[in-house]
Amino acid sequence: MTAAYTELERRFRRLSLLGEAAGILQWDMAAVMPDGGAGIRGEQLAELKVVGHEAIVDPRIADLLDKAERDESAALDPWRRANLHEMRRAWRHASALPGDLVAALSRTVSECEMRWRGARAANDYKGLQPLMQRVLDLTIEAARIKGQRFNVDPYDALIDEYEPGADAARIAAIFDDLAAFLPGFIERVLVRQAAAGPIAPLGGPFPAARQRALAETLMRAIGFDFDHGRLDTSHHPFCGGVPEDVRITTRWDEKDFTRGLMGVLHETGHAMYERGLPADWRLQPVGAARGMALHESQSLLVEMQACRSREFVSYLAPLAAQAFGGTGAAWGVDNLHRHYTRVARGLIRVDADETTYPCHIILRFRLERALIGGDMTLDDLPAAWNAGMKELVGIVPPDDKDGCLQDIHWPGGAWGYFPTYTLGALAAAQLFEAAVRAVPGIPAGLARGDFAPLMAWLRPNVHAKASSGTTDEILAAATGKPLGTDSFKRHLERRYLA
Residues with catalytic roles:
267
Q: How far, in Å, CA of 401 to CA of 148, rounded?
A: 36
In angstroms, what CA-CA distances link 312 with 63, 172, 319?
53, 34, 11
Q: How far, in Å, CA of 256 to CA of 207, rounded?
A: 10
